[in-house]
Structure 1
Amino acid sequence: MQRIETVTIIGLGRTARAAAAYLMDKGVHVTMWGRSRDRVNEIQEHGMEITGCCMGHYCPETTDDLAQGLEHAQLVLVMTLASGHRDVARQMKGCLRPGQDILIFNGNWGAYEFYQELGNVWKSHQITIGETGSMLFLADYAEGACHVKSIKKEIGAAAVPASETSAMCGRLKQLFPQLVPEENVISTSINSSNPVMHVPVTLFNITRMENGEDYSFYGDAATKKVLGVVEKADRERCDVARAAGVNPKSCLEIINSFWPNKYDTLFEAIKNNQAYVSGKGPRTIKHRYLEEDIPFGIAPIARLGRMFGVATPCIDVLLDAFGVLLDVDAAKDAPCFSAGILQELSKD
């Protein structure tokens, strides 16, 4: 099997930087692409200081020219916010090379949108589109550096078509032994714990965010009552997954799969994990817990629920509450699902 030696990372955020450091430690040539010329210049001129699970000063090749960034890549890691997936797929369409693998960290229906936007290009170029069910790295900015707090021991991954999943995970094993094959890319997106975790905790702590307060998101913000709402939303997500033909995994099952220690309740799993309780909560309402986890997290669950005739009252309340709070249509940017595409992506 050919060794992967060149990887292009789409994105310049903290998890993209963590991934770059992780791969460079493995001897991989990394190119990072970003839209912002200022952020590209920053890394070109000063490199990246990384602490934690990866440690050192890293100087990846960096560009804002997408064609140049993709030219020699064997593997492309898409690490933008979910709101950027559609646009990135459109831009990549004319720049892709035959035989490349595309892996979206983490999915949030990214593979679905890439499938829609790339049309027949992925087939004619023999490109595999894949996505993960969660983010491999927990990272934050601290004291001028990107601090990689932890790297999960396993995360689910799937490919388009589903029959390519095992082969894709096999090709990527040298770099990402943490990838565990899932049923399909419907499963990786629907069995994501982040949206049903983040959105309720965010709703009940929205004044802390708006006031810029200092608090622990999974510490004092995630009380037993709030986690009770998380569990209600999670049960609805699992009901929708079953209706969509996917084997559901509860938040507790998913979180237990990430880490060595296993717990009997969601409350215990959160409160006994230092990687969670040490994490600071957002100090602004302009945050991905709202801008990503609503339109690309819980809103798709509600849409699929209506498609399959499954009630989602708790998730509907969360969507309505945020719509009123933020004066927006919380589901406006959510993926528009086609029964035909869902069927195509789920078959072997």
Structure 2
Amino acid sequence: MTYAVIGGGNTGQAIAGYLRLKEESVKLYTRDPNKAQRISKQGLEVKGIYSGKVILEASTSMDEVISDAKFIIISTTAMGHETIVKQIKPILKDNQTIVFFPGYWGALECKRILGEHLIKNKNITVAETSAMPFVSIADNAGSVFINKIKHNVLISTLCEENPIALSFMNRFPQLILGNSVFETSLNNSNVVIHPPITLFNAARIDASEAFQFYTDGASPFSVNYVEKMDIERLQIASRLKVNTQSILTVLNEFYDTGYPTLYEALPGLFPTGLAPTTLDYRYMTEDIPFGLVPISELGKILGVETPYTDSIISAASLLMDSDYRKEGISFKGLTKESLLSMSVV
């Protein structure tokens, strides 16, 4: 099969490198012309769980990358989803599949931008996952290190008439089928973990202090707050009749572990994860507008109070002099009834 991977960051390089190791035809899109030239000329060294040097074509031309692709994998941050979908809209071909790794409500945003008419006429399959397939880091010098494979990662499509291809599922065996894109986005573990721990360590991060994000930054009180936010997420999912599990269960299933508490799981799973050195980082700029804001907005429509989630959104917006609610996913114009009809494929 032919794949286009959109996004030349950690996840994009890891996915593209993995696919090439599996002898798939892959093209990588990046906005950085120097990165595109380096990867195309020198290849990519995959290290860690998978290893090997691969030849990989990278380009700054979106048309060149996606023109022959059966599967278009979008691995940018959620902030880039709208721009990317608008960019590929006029050049999509019949029967292509778009997959957001991970979702962050990307499938619903894609539907809004492409429109039901184009999706139906071109027979476009739109899907998203609940998480990245790997934990990885690229050194931007020619190597990408894949140090963990996530298991039991959900994938869902917009409608049952356009299921994800079996060949895609076989290529990513860590994927399991979900029931709807509401299930995938509401099971994103990042959004209830990253923002509160970041906010409660804001002074350290703002001062660019070096510390381990989970080992040093996740205190009993901050993890307790995370769990209160998680209860709000679970209540919203229940109202939507969406299958969800606690964040602790999600993490244990991702990594095939059995930690009894979230306070033990976070440093146990990520003992060497350094904290960001700036607050202008995806833990705030992505996880809040595209993770917490949708949870809060769904709560308003469904009649579920979300005081812990709302407090993080408000405090972070004030701290960063930003309007994360305005920037985020709003579900404007939707009712409880329409949400219930959309939440099951």
Shift of residue 344 of structure 1? 5.6
* CA apart distance, 1:174: 2.3
Counterparts of 1:214-293 in structure 2, within 5 Å, are: 214-273=210-269, 276-293=270-287
Which one-letter code corresponds to 1:187 in the other structure? E
Give 1:119-130 correspondences, 5 Å limit: 119=115, 120-130=117-127
Give the corresponding residue for 1:98. 94
For the 8 Å contact 1:169–1:180, the answer to whether it is kept is no
User: Which is worse superposed, 301-310 or 259-268?
Assistant: 259-268
Counterpart in 2 of 1:118? 114
1:67 offset after TM fit, Å? Answer: 1.4
Counterparts of 2:339 and 2:16, CA distance in 1: 32
Instruction: Identify the residue that residue 62 of structure 1 maps to in structure 2.
Output: 58
* Length, aligned pairs only: 340
Matched, 1:339 2:331: no
Number of the residue aligned with 1:209 = 205
Say whether 1:329 aligns with 2:323: yes
Q: Give the equivalent residue in structure 1 for 2:159.
A: 161
Which of 1, 15, 19 aligns to 2:15? It is 19
Contact 2:20–2:55 (8 Å) recurs in 1: no
CA shift in 2, pair 1:170/1:342, >3 Å: farther
CA contact (8 A) 2:149 2:255 kept: no
Report how far residue 169 of structure 1 moved.
5.5
1:178-203 Cα shifts (integer Å, max 9, x gaps): 11111100110112111101011111
Task: Give the distance between the partners of 1:346 and 1:236, measured in 2 at CA.
Answer: 17
**Structure 2 CA distance for partners of 1:91 and 1:345, relative to 1, 3 Å:** farther
The one-letter amino acid paired with 2:343 is S
Matched AA of 1:152: K
Q: Please list, as runs of the form range in 1=range in 2, the aligned pairs for 1:147-158 lying within 5 A after superposition.
A: 147-158=145-156
Structure 2 residue corresponding to 1:132, chosen from 129, 132, 135: 129
Tell me the TM-score normalized by structure 1: 0.92
- Answer whether contact 1:186 1:342 (CA < 8 A) is retained: no
Distance 2:20 2:29 in 1: 16
Kindly state the Cα deviation for residue 343 of structure 1 after the two structures are TM-superposed. Answer: 5.0
Shift in alpha-carbon separation, 1:171–1:138, aligned structure 2, 3 A: same
Residue pair 2:133, 2:150 contacting (<8 A) in 1 also: yes
Q: Is the 8 A contact 1:102 1:127 kept in 2?
A: yes
1:194 aligns with 2:190: yes
Structure 2 length normalisation: TM-score?
A: 0.93
Superposition deviation, residue 57 in structure 1: 3.1
Unmatched runs of 5 consecutive residues or more in structure 2: none
Task: Give the secondary structure class of the aligned counterpart of 1:336.
Answer: coil
How far is 1:163 from its partner?
5.3
SS at 1:331 equivalent: helix
Mapped contact 1:161–1:345 kept (Cα < 8 A): no
Q: Distance in 2 between matches of 1:247 and 1:163?
A: 21
Distance in 2 (CA, whole Å) between partners of 1:68 and 1:249 is 40
Alignment check: 8 A CA contact 1:21 1:54 kept: no
Contact 1:224 1:267 in 2 (8 A): yes
Residue in structure 2 matched with residue 40 of structure 1 by the alignment = 36
Q: Which of 294, 309, 333 is the aligned partner of 1:315?
A: 309
RMSD of Structure 2 on Structure 1 (CA)? 1.8
Distance in 1, matches of 2:251 and 2:303, equals 28
Deviates more, 1:90-99 or 1:170-179: 170-179
Q: Are the equivalent residues in 2 in contact too, given 1:162–1:185 (CA < 8 A)?
A: no
Query: Identity of aligned pairs, percent?
Result: 34
Mapped partners of 2:38, 2:140: distance in 1: 16
Distance 1:148 1:260 in 2: 17
Q: Residues 198 and 283 of structure 2 are in contact (CA less than 8 Å); yes or no, is this contact kept in structure 1? A: yes
**Would you say the 8 A contact 1:198–1:289 is kept in 2?**
yes
